[in-house]
Copies of this chain bind each other. A is one copy, B any other.
């Protein structure tokens, strides 16, 4: 693992995979077909890409029951406890509709309303990600979204992974379709005979899913397009090298393009972590992926002092930030940009990935400068409320009309004045 001085310019920005021209054309075609031919097209694409012919896309009660029999009861209880924690943290984000009232009769405010319907995409492939189901569904549930639809590509046996179904059931999803890829996004955006359209689509997916989401954006809302995962660890000499190394590797095992960075004031720690990373790498099942990630995107930066280290972190704006220093909580105020901040050695990043409650859908690729973790407000919208009484309008009519005329909008001025003439 390379060790550098922070004075070397650093960035964890990686080019975003925007797909090839061929992929974009393929995705446009899939969307067009699904818009025009509905279920028939969805069925054909599922046949073609997932190599399975389904009598019905909808997951049955039977399949849910079967899933509960296939997952061991300890895992079910862990999923349930994680769901409860995530639900509870997101509930604390809820805000009420509010108004202010003034003596002259003015009432102003913000009405908070949940979206009517949301689609959650859950990727298929070899691994099953029940945590992704919980993290994407529960904020929508807590927000009050009435209709939450889950879609996921079927395995070649025509089923979804049992742990994913258990997570969906625990999160309260009642409508699950075995459809994946761009055809699933198209169905969610424009509707088919069996799948009604939704207002917003969230959840990660492969390049076809990402391109399809970009394509339908505007007709429906989408969440951010996530890049590869990142961790930055800010540590001083009090950090234990084997813990820091384990945390860097937990990120590196995700993806060859994942990025794991240590920023430290201690040269000793830097050297020991570099050694530990190599040692622990040897024993990892996903050694190949993690090695490549560490080699290409891993780095250890040595800072002259804590100020310089923190300024480096703010420059990175990492998705995950661990602070393992003598007094991490004192540093929160200085952290300006990070998706999630993990404080102290007993808060390794997997605590947040699965269990603590805050969302694991976080801004990547430096977008923590202006983006937030997925949260309840992503599934609600605001409407301004404006009520002027006769007295309030009377007091202000002249000013409002003057402002309108300053902008050359006479009909605006007359709309106000119409109230006070016969």
Residues of A within 8 A of B (CB): 16, 74-75, 78-79, 81-82, 89, 92-93, 95, 98, 100, 106-108, 110-111, 113, 115-116, 126-131, 163, 199-200, 218, 220-221, 240, 242-243, 246-247, 249-250, 252-254, 280, 284-286, 290, 328-329, 332, 335-359, 362-363, 367-373, 375, 377, 381-390, 392-393, 396, 399-404, 406-416, 418-419
Given contacts A98-B92, A250-B415, contact A356 B386 (CB under 8 A): yes
Taking CB atoms, residues of chain B closer than 8 Å to A246 are: 411, 414-415, 418
Q: Tell me if B358 and A399 are in contact (CB < 8 A).
A: no
Point out the residue from B220, B338, B377 that lies within 8 Å of A377, measured CB to CB. B377
Other A-B pairs, 13, CB within 8 Å; known A116-B369, A337-B383, A372-B381: A131-B403, A199-B370, A221-B371, A242-B418, A243-B419, A250-B409, A253-B410, A340-B383, A341-B385, A349-B415, A350-B412, A350-B416, A356-B386
Q: Tell me if B116 and A388 are in contact (CB < 8 A).
A: no
Taking CB atoms, residues of chain B closer than 8 Å to A359 are: 384
Given contacts A130-B406, A220-B370, A253-B409, contact A384 B352 (CB under 8 A): yes
Taking CB atoms, residues of chain B closer than 8 Å to A243 are: 415, 418-419
Point out the residue from B75, B352, B419 that lies within 8 Å of A402, measured CB to CB. B75
Number of copies: 2
Taking CB atoms, residues of chain B closer than 8 Å to A373 are: 382-384
Point out the residue from B127, B242, B368, B384 that lies within 8 Å of A381, measured CB to CB. B368
The CA-CA distance from A55 to B106 in the complex, in Å, is: 48
Instruction: Specify the chain B residue showing the minimal Cβ separation from A220.
Output: B370
Taking CB atoms, residues of chain B closer than 8 Å to A252 are: 411
Q: Tell me if A400 and B354 are in contact (CB < 8 A).
A: yes
6 A-B pairs with least C-beta separation: A358-B384, A340-B384, A221-B370, A250-B415, A372-B382, A343-B387
Q: Tell me if B356 and A388 are in contact (CB < 8 A).
A: yes
The CA-CA distance from A411 to B348 in the complex, in Å, is: 12
Instruction: Specify the chain B residue showing the minimal Cβ separation from A400.
Output: B355
* Smallest beta-carbon distance A368→chain B, Å: 7
Taking CB atoms, residues of chain B closer than 8 Å to A337 are: 113, 381, 383
Residue of A78, A372, A412 most packed against chain B (CB within 10 A)? A412
The CA-CA distance from A412 to B284 in the complex, in Å, is: 11
Given contacts A246-B418, A355-B400, A369-B116, contact A347 B388 (CB under 8 A): yes
Given contacts A369-B116, A375-B382, A385-B343, contact A356 B108 (CB under 8 A): yes
The CA-CA distance from A203 to B108 in the complex, in Å, is: 23
Q: Tell me if A414 and B383 are in contact (CB < 8 A).
A: no
The CA-CA distance from A53 to B337 in the complex, in Å, is: 39
Instruction: Specify the chain B residue showing the minimal Cβ separation from A240.
Output: B418
Q: Tell me if B98 and A386 are in contact (CB < 8 A).
A: no
Taking CB atoms, residues of chain B closer than 8 Å to A254 are: 409
The CA-CA distance from A249 to B418 in the complex, in Å, is: 12
* Smallest beta-carbon distance A267→chain B, Å: 22
Q: Tell me if B370 and A403 are in contact (CB < 8 A).
A: no
Taking CB atoms, residues of chain B closer than 8 Å to A399 are: 78, 81-82, 355
Q: Tell me if A336 and B411 are in contact (CB < 8 A).
A: no
Taking CB atoms, residues of chain B closer than 8 Å to A403 are: 75, 78-79, 82, 130-131, 354-355
Instruction: Specify the chain B residue showing the minimal Cβ separation from A357.
Output: B108
Q: Tell me if A392 and B249 are in contact (CB < 8 A).
A: no
